Amino acid sequence: MNRNLPVNADRIAEDIDALAKITEPDHPWTRRAFSPLFLDGRAYIEARMKAAGLETRIDAGGNLIGRRAGKKPGLGTLMVGSHSDTVPDGGRFDGIAGTISALEVARALKDKGIELDHDLEIVDLLAEEVSIFGVSCIGSRGMTGQLPEAWLSRASGDRTLADGIREVGGDPAILLEQKRPDLKGFLELHIEQGPILEAEHRDVGIVTAIAGITRVEITVEGRADHAGTTPMDRRADALVAASQLVLDIREAAIGLTKTPGHFAATVGEFRIEPNAANVVPSKVVMLIDGRAEIRSDMETFCVWLDEHVAKIAATHGVVIATPKRVSDNFPTPGNPGIIETLERACDTVGALHRRMASGAGHDTAWMAKVAPAAMIFVPCKDGRSHCADEWAENDDIALGAAVLFEAVREMDKALA
């Protein structure tokens, strides 16, 4: 990289490489939340925070925070960070790149002797990925008063989530009362987890919105019959009807991608009964994962789905109940002012950028409910993520960190 950046790319690479070595030997790169390896990674990050002159603590939600006091006490806090936990077999950069880039912002400010008016906090948010307790974004929900109380009783073996939070240094007894009214802005860097930036030779994606996620369950009831003796035209085959529905869902989703916002729909779970080679399938249960940047697109899709299942049922002689929305989260737009700040920061460091939506969920979606927030993407090779082949070039990460650096400085001045 020939750019004269305000951050140190070598330090970023050193830290990411060090965390990559803290992994299950036979499952790179695995460092799941609430595991001993996760605590080892946390210990490394905390040591690097302290070396950068940050005052460290674990909050009630189990989040690791490094604080750099501002010149004007009481003015509020700017927060930058991501997460250090991984999915199984695939987390060399996902979350880690954002956590280390945030740390590098603090180090670069120290190197240049720049004091902010606001307090600056660098955060490693607990368990952004789906944890052993079956839930995700535990730290960001916990920090902002959005963690459901019932979650604390969720169990994995003989441990509850409350036990896990205590083990990482949090305090579930006061977690539900935790609020952060001092937060004035939140920034997160993340690898794109998709192919667009690489394909378009862009350095940075500025996230306009984190897509809402709606999950819909559909049950198709047919009739079990002998597979060898029942004529083909006298069957109520639940699998045939369900298979047609899967194809139609794909076509409907493709149609919605022609609208301005991001949209995707995937049938990711599919169960068949009785699942025997010589029996006509009698029942299929499927789960649709729908993602929409614009809420009206999701509503359009759900209305179409309700009407379409009735047509499929009539055509194939099966029964399909009204699709059931299992979960339904709205999109989270980035803060318009911070998005513009990030665009100016890109221009300052010479980063080619574009606006884009995030089809994946992130901690920023929860932080944005209590403070102005936005995030940026950096490219990843072939758009691969959540796998052992996940890769991002260090120069790309460093350029993203430089964007964060410039954005933090502008936010500090503008908010003051």
Token pair belonging to 198: 């690489």
Q: Each residue of 76-97: pLDDT tens digit?
A: 999 999 999 999 998 899 999 9
Q: Where in the chain is the domain with CATH 3.30.70.360?
A: 217-328
- Candidates 3.30.70.360, 3.20.20.70, 3.40.190.10, 3.90.1150.10; correct CATH number of 217-328? 3.30.70.360
pTM here?
A: 0.94
Q: Each residue of 172-221: pLDDT tens digit?
A: 999 999 999 999 999 999 999 999 999 999 999 999 999 999 999 999 99
Q: Where in the chain is the domain with CATH 3.40.630.10?
A: 9-210+332-415
pLDDT for position 416: 80
Q: Each residue of 261-306: pLDDT tens digit?
A: 999 999 999 999 999 999 999 999 999 999 999 999 999 999 999 9
Nearest to 373 by CA among 341, 403, 346, 399: 341
Top CATH class of 9-210+332-415 equals alpha beta
